[in-house]
Amino acid sequence: MLAAMPPTPPPAAEPGEPRIRDRGDACPGALRLHSADDGRLARLRLPAGRLTSRQVEILARAAETLGDGRISITSRGNAELRGLADDCGAALAELLADAGLLPSPTHERVRNIVASPTAGLDGLGHADVQLWARGLDAALCAAPRAASLSGRFLFVLDDGRGDVTGLGGDVTLVAAEDEYVTLWLDGGPERQVFRLAAADAVRAALAAALAFLDAADAAGNGAWRPRELPAGHTPDLAGALARAGIAAEPVPVPPLPSSPPPAPGALRDGAVYVLAPLGRLTAAQLRALLPAGEIRLTPWRGAVATAPPTDQAAPTEPTARTEPAEPATRTGPADPTPQAGPTAQTGPAEPTPQAGPTAQTAPTDPAAPHTDATTADRLRVLDACGLITRSDAPGAGVTACTGRPGCAKSLADVRADALAAPAGPLPVHFSGCARRCGHPYGDWVEVLATGDDGYLVDGRATPRTSLTEAVATARTYPTR
């Protein structure tokens, strides 16, 4: 079940020429593991980041028994396991399949679906796109042709608030008023936008993806994503929608709605939102999110825990001692480092959206959270477990790639240095090399290792001894 990752990417196209992909993408999956310096890496696609309580327990068990004991949250709300042994593939697949996390082995790497994580919980938005995500996942797995999509192809489902529209979706659905939706098919300057009934949203998203595959086949350049298609090979989205029996009208490209991510803390109706330090959860921290109706991992390296079922009470104190959020150093596969999957990752990067201190403040009415005693106790328990429960807490808005010792290309142990990052309004990302794996979208502070015990902070050479001061200034007064 394991396949080695191709070691060398194809050469980049010359300026002005279409990109040529002479192989499939090398994105890791749950069945195709990536080899890293700290062991094998598995990436589990979790549409809309959703996990049931049983899946949380099995994922935590897989991390403890097969990996390094930690779960990384990626910039697409997926999960990664690191430090896996070379021969663990069959055992991991059996665990995941038993948990319902592998509904289609042939489609496991193409189930990249991001959805507004607080949809249906806070009274905002025009539709519960979490339900759309489940429908789209089922439709993808039922379509044999969809298995040909790249592991990098991304569906984004936004409930109209604009929190996930900026994550670089290839197919994006944006809920609108009066039970309508806008469908976006990315293509760089040839972006297509259609307006249609919300009831057709799932079928339209699938039709758009299949229209891209048809265009990619005709182009013959092996494009992984619509923006890589050469001129003259625009997907026939109008024809695809018509053939699917979907009434849709093309509209001029409007501005996408945009809003910051939710702030960590209380949501409505007993739900809470927390961030994982540097995008990684220990197995104990993942379990500490329970009991909950469900867990939703988010693109900002966090987790929404909905209210516990009425017959279960949230714990009033930690049920198990947790490890430190991130040790400064580690060696060997027994305890390695997640973009975090991304926040930390080796292998193909998933860009990191903004997180942390720039998060939105809660609306006043009707969606303002009410922090009752039970919710407050729940947040105190999660804080004691090492999770980030406030936007002004240390570590909020701080991300990093894998760095040393987990990544051979890294020039520094960036995660150890990121632990000392001072607070500030802007997100900050620490990169171990020029690939900048896991870097954020939007405004962010770049901290790039140079290999001489120094960094470039937004392009300015900075010795490691002055890093804290330089990052503090950059997070407050952006220089890029």
Estimate to the nearest angstrom the gap between the alpha carbon of 237 and the chain centroid: 27
pLDDT of residue 335: 40
3-state SS class at 240: helix
Q: Are strands 79-84 and 70-73 parallel, antiparallel or unpaired?
A: antiparallel
pLDDT of residue 23: 62
The structure tokens listed for 480 are 């890029």
Residues sharing a CB contact under 8 Å with residue 389, sequence separation 6 or more, in sequence order: 264, 265, 272, 274, 379, 382, 383
pLDDT of residue 370: 56
CA separation (Å) from 256 to 159, 163, 179, 183? 12, 10, 18, 11
Say what the pTM is: 0.85
From CA 380, how far away is CA 120, in angstroms rounded?
Answer: 25
Residues sharing a CB contact under 8 Å with residue 345, sequence separation 6 or more, in sequence order: 41, 72, 74, 80, 338, 339, 401, 402, 437, 438
From CA 308, how far away is CA 381, in angstroms rounded?
Answer: 14
Residues (pLDDT < 70) of the chain are 1-23, 313-371, 478-480
From CA 403, how far away is CA 346, in angstroms rounded?
Answer: 8
- Tell which residue, 343, 266, 276, 338, has the closest CA to residue 303: 276
pLDDT of residue 369: 56
In the β-sheet with 265-266, what is the strand arrangement from edge to edge? Answer: 50-51, 295-297, 302-305, 272-275, 265-266
DSSP 377-388: HHHHHHHHTT-B
User: In the structure, how many helices (H) and strands (E) does the chain have?
Assistant: 9, 21
Q: Which residues of 347-366 are buried (b: 16+ CB within 10 A; e: fewer)?
A: bbbbbbbbbbbbbeebeeee
pLDDT of residue 463: 96
pLDDT of residue 315: 67
DSSP label of 176 = E
Residues sharing a CB contact under 8 Å with residue 1, sequence separation 6 or more, in sequence order: 31, 32, 89, 90, 93
